[in-house]
Chain A
Amino acid sequence: MKRSVSLAAFLLLLVATVGYPQAPEATGQRGQRGERGARGQRGQQQPSQPAAPTPRFKDGTVNLSAAAGEKGFWNVGTTSVYGRGLPGNLTAEQIPFEPWAKALFQYRQATSTKDDPHARCVPDGGIHFWQLTNGVEIIQQPELNRIIMVAGHNHIWKVVHMEPGRVHPSPDVITYGYLGDAIGHWEGDTLVIDTVGFNEKFWFHRGGLPHTSEMHLIERLTRVDHDTLKYEATLDDPGAYTKPWSGGSLIRWQTTNYDGSPGGEIDEYYCMDNERDSQHFASK
């Protein structure tokens, strides 16, 4: 239990995927059902020399994707070095749960996250979006004032609106969705994404941290060098937590395909269409 709790430290569990050998069972996660194992595990190159500097566009803006002539994407589940939580991440004991949320989280952990809607191919929003081993590709379109984030798992995409001065719709008219209404801006070299309007039909976090539709998520993405994306999130959800809290992780740049071959391209993967093991699902 103690191990489960400490590992449950927030985002962390970005972890759960591959980083720690013990992580999957310790966090009650048996790997992502409906996925083809952990992608990109074969043929991984461990960084043996300092990574190249952060790529930039001509105007100096950080390039969060592949530079010209390169390929690649972000994948939390790629190496034993990356994917761990940042120093200072909270442990599960430190997370300011409301009592019902703590009890529900503990139940989900104790039951190996068997009820995760992810197993029923429900889209994964919030932090969960980054916790899929199929990776994420970021497409910056400054001419359109938007950034598109494409998740390899089920090929869902999140639109981050970058128009200056844009505000969220009011709660009474907003459409509550899996990915929410996301507005971004740059703070120096950090992309800050402010998202509200999440529905309650999914788990926003792979380890089973509960949320409500009142969740306000602020994500900070910093490409600290060519191969590393620092992911930080601050969660303000008065429905499930007594106060805002934060955590983060490092996400690795992947230059191989899912099978480890050279390439760095996200391939087409759809949960339902490709599923061949549903008889072994624990969830209903």
Chain B
Amino acid sequence: MKLRAYIAICFLACFALSAAAFAQEGHPLVGTWHGSWGVDDKNRNDVTLVITFTGKGQIISGVVNPGSNSAPIQKATLDPANWAVHFEADAKDSGGKPVHYVVDGKIEDIGSVHRSIAGTWTAGTARNNFKVTRD
């Protein structure tokens, strides 16, 4: 039991440290974002976005839910006039069926290292809201 508590504390400490360590001030979309999407407050789907940026060509890329069921981010854009974000992804739903995501949001609190993106997350024909916050 003591060992489990010790491991849990170490894990939490590492998590907290890594969150602080990844604060970044470069391209506003770069980083790992956690949150959820769903049609209402009770029906939510956890989501993680890992977004990268390549200077040459100003290419925004990344993955939705890194891991065995990850989906590459496609057609990602950022409009700095209003910090509007758009991307799409081809993923699978909980039943294993293909589903196409179309995501449109806006970066909130652009100056914060823990800024957020909120907006609409369309899965197939279902229109949902979403919010993710940067680690």
> A: which residues have CB within 8 A of B?
98-100, 102-104, 107-108, 111, 114-115, 117, 199-203, 210-214, 237-240, 284
Give every chain A residue within 8 A of B83 (Cβ-Cβ).
103
Q: Which of B23, B55, B81, B112 contacts A212 (CB 8 A)?
A: B55
A80 to B15, CA, bound (A): 47
A104, B53: Cβ atoms closer than 8 Å: no
> B: which residues have CB within 8 A of A?
21, 23-28, 30, 53-56, 58, 78, 80-81, 83, 110-112
Name, among B21, B26, B81, the residue most crowded by chain A CB atoms within 10 Å (CB to CB): B26
Given contacts A103-B81, A104-B80, A115-B111, contact A238 B56 (CB under 8 A): yes
Given contacts A100-B27, A103-B80, A117-B23, contact A239 B55 (CB under 8 A): yes
B28, A104: Cβ atoms closer than 8 Å: yes
Q: Which of A199, A237, A238, A240 contacts B24 (CB 8 A)?
A: A199
Give every chain A residue within 8 A of B28 (Cβ-Cβ).
100, 104
Q: Report, nearest first, the 9 A-B pairs whose CB atoms are least far apart.
A: A239-B55, A200-B26, A103-B80, A238-B55, A115-B111, A200-B24, A212-B26, A100-B80, A214-B55
A213 to B78, CA, bound (A): 19
Shortest distance from the beta carbon of A30 to any chain B beta carbon, whole Å: 15
Give every chain A residue within 8 A of B55 (Cβ-Cβ).
212, 214, 237-240
Give every chain A residue within 8 A of B25 (Cβ-Cβ).
117, 200-203, 210
B53, A107: Cβ atoms closer than 8 Å: no
A107 to B53, CA, bound (A): 20
A211, B58: Cβ atoms closer than 8 Å: no
B53, A239: Cβ atoms closer than 8 Å: yes
**B57 (CB) vs chain A CBs: closest residue:** A238
Give every chain A residue within 8 A of B110 (Cβ-Cβ).
104, 107
**B56 (CB) vs chain A CBs: closest residue:** A238
Given contacts A100-B78, A103-B81, A212-B55, contact A240 B111 (CB under 8 A): no
A237 to B25, CA, bound (A): 14
